Amino acid sequence: MKAAIVGGSGYVGGELLRLLVRHPEVEVAQVTSDSMAGKPVGRAHPNLRKATDLAFVPHSALRPADVTFLATPHGESLARVPGLLDEGGIVVDLSADFRLHDTAAYLQYYHREHPRPDLLAKSVYGLPELHREALRAAQLIAVPGCIATASILALRPLVAARLLDSRPIVVDAKTGSSASGQEPGPAGTHAERSGAMRAYAAAGHRHTAEIEQEVGVPVALSCHAVEAVRGVLATGHAFVLRSMDDKELWRTYRAAYGAEPFVRIVHETDGIHREPEPKILSGTNYCEVGFASDPHAGRVVALAALDNLMKGAAGNAVQCLNVRAGFPETTALDFLGLHPI
Amino acid sequence: MTHCPECDAKVERNDKVLGEVFPCPDCGTELEVFGTSPFAVQPAPKEAEDWGE
């Protein structure tokens, strides 16, 4: 299967390359970047030196491929996707342009009318744990946002099991600096970022709409930047109809994820790493979910950790391709991470 | 086979013997075999940990 990556010089593009150059069923035919055109991919992604002979080509040189990954900024996929779909290939879009099926929610969070609502209806939200069967036939796959992925995987089992009352679920998410991409900005300078514990979106974060779409209940999301390069930790505070013990929560999460290859349920009674922690997931496609019962406050704390560039973006995109193409779902995604790191 | 008293995971006897301590495969709780016929487990005694609070 021939693949193209559009916008390959960014962090997500680099992770797509790292995974796909070792994917036994995929040949990366092209990787585009206007800013890096003509330069070897190792110039942008030094971890890929000598792993491939690929060099960046300008966006205008893009040719049809069996699958095209769009790792471009939000808004740019809107212009590219219709033509790519007409060419007949699979499109895996890592931007937010086709994630929301509700045009009103898109207008609210992205401040513009969606120009192709007909395509919103055709896109499949790329979370295999929820939409595996739909992905098998999808031509347009919209890969979820990183904070949304963690939040959805943490909360969905509680909602599906009808354990929660009608109050909104509060989600407190922490994220590393790579989630904001490679483009320099004043908030990303070392002086501003080093040591930060900053609420950069106390309310109104765009991923709120994705989480509500997939979980099906109101969500109150606050997002914080912390001192890390990779990683998302989402902590959900879900208010329950009745108190429940760990056994019931274990059964609930096992029913949801017991057979999932990339979701690990973590709620251990001994050791240092008792609950999900993003640090040890760096470079892996795993999402760890955990929980704690809090009868005193009438809540369950639902946790999820992942690498924002992997299960939160490129790794999940490759998992979606594996599902869509009928490859073993774990192909090219078997890295177990590092410890210590 | 029995179940972990903490998380309800299935726990197989295999060749475990009376008094053996082993971790639950899901929640990691240290379990102690206190019966073999039928196979039965209970949380193993442990020292409280100080996390520096």
Q: Is the pLDDT of residue B49 over 60?
A: no
Q: Cβ A269–B9 below 8 Å, yes or no?
A: no
The rounded distance, in Å, linking the Cα atoms of A306 and A151 is 10
Comparing C-alpha atoms, which of A121, A122, A123, A103 is closest to residue A113?
A103
Q: Which residue has the tokens 């994917």?
A: A23
Chain A CB within 8 Å of residue B8 CB: yes
Interface test with B, best of A269, A275, A288, A291 (most B CBs within 10 A): A269
The rounded distance, in Å, linking the Cα atoms of B35 and A52 is 58
| pLDDT given for residue A161 in this prediction | 97
Contacts of A246 in chain B (CB under 8 A): 6-7, 27
- Please give, rounded to a whole number of angstroms, the shortest distance from the CA of B6 to a CA of chain A: 6
Per-residue pLDDT of chain A (341 residues; tens, 9 = 90+): 999 999 999 999 999 999 999 999 999 999 999 999 999 999 999 999 999 999 999 999 999 999 999 999 888 999 999 999 999 999 999 999 999 999 999 999 999 999 999 999 899 999 999 999 999 999 999 999 999 999 999 999 999 999 999 999 999 999 998 877 766 678 778 888 888 899 999 999 999 999 999 999 999 999 999 999 999 999 999 999 999 999 999 999 999 999 999 999 999 988 889 999 999 999 999 999 999 999 999 999 999 999 999 999 999 999 999 999 999 999 999 999 999 99
Q: Cβ A268–B8 below 8 Å, yes or no?
A: no
Size of interface A-B (CB pairs under 8 A): 31
Domain with CATH 3.40.50.720 in chain A: 2-143+313-325
- Please give, rounded to a whole number of angstroms, the shortest distance from the CA of B18 to a CA of chain A: 22
The rounded distance, in Å, linking the Cα atoms of A191 and A16 is 30
Residue B35 has a CB neighbour count (10 Å cut-off) of 12
Contacts of B6 in chain A (CB under 8 A): 246-247, 269
Sequence spans of domains, chain B: 2-43
For residues A56-91, one letter each, b for 16 or more C-beta atoms within 10 angstroms of the residue's C-beta and e for the rest, the string is: bbeeeebeebbbbbbbbeeebbbebbeebbeeebbb
Q: Cβ B6–A268 below 8 Å, yes or no?
A: no
ipTM attached to this prediction: 0.75
**Partners of A2 in the beta sheet?**
A27
At A156 the three-state DSSP class reads helix
| pLDDT given for residue B48 in this prediction | 60
At B26 the three-state DSSP class reads coil
Q: How many helices (H) and strands (E) does chain A have?
A: 11, 13
The rounded distance, in Å, linking the Cα atoms of A160 and A163 is 8
Q: Is the pLDDT of residue B53 over 60?
A: no
Catalytic residue among A146, A223, A287, A320: A146
Residue A316, CB-side half-sphere exposure with 13 Å CA sphere: 35
Which A-chain residues 214-273 have CB contacts (< 8 A) with chain B?
Answer: 246-247, 250-251, 254, 265, 267-271
Check: CB of residue A5 under 8 Å from CB of residue A32. Answer: yes
CATH superfamily of A2-143+313-325: NAD(P)-binding Rossmann-like Domain (3.40.50.720)
Chain B CB within 8 Å of residue A200 CB: no
- Closest partner CB to A250 (pick from B23, B26, B30): B26
CATH superfamily of A146-306: Dihydrodipicolinate Reductase; domain 2 (3.30.360.10)
Q: Cβ B6–A246 below 8 Å, yes or no?
A: yes
Domain with CATH 3.30.360.10 in chain A: 146-306
* Dihedrals phi, psi of A223, to nearest 5 degrees: -125, 140
Contacts of B30 in chain A (CB under 8 A): 269-270
| pLDDT given for residue A182 in this prediction | 67
**Which class would CATH give B2-43?**
mainly beta
Q: Cβ B28–A247 below 8 Å, yes or no?
A: no
- Please give, rounded to a whole number of angstroms, the shortest distance from the CA of B32 to a CA of chain A: 15
pLDDT band with cut points at 50, 70 and 90 for residue B47: low
Q: Describe chain A by its helix, strand, coil percentages, rounded to 5.
A: 35, 20, 45
| pLDDT given for residue A178 in this prediction | 84
| pLDDT given for residue B50 in this prediction | 64
Interface test with A, best of B2, B10, B24, B26 (most A CBs within 10 A): B26
Consecutive H or E run containing A213: helix A207-215
> Which pair of structure tokens corresponds to residue A99?
């994630």
- Closest partner CB to A268 (pick from B8, B27, B46): B27
**Partners of A245 in the beta sheet?**
none
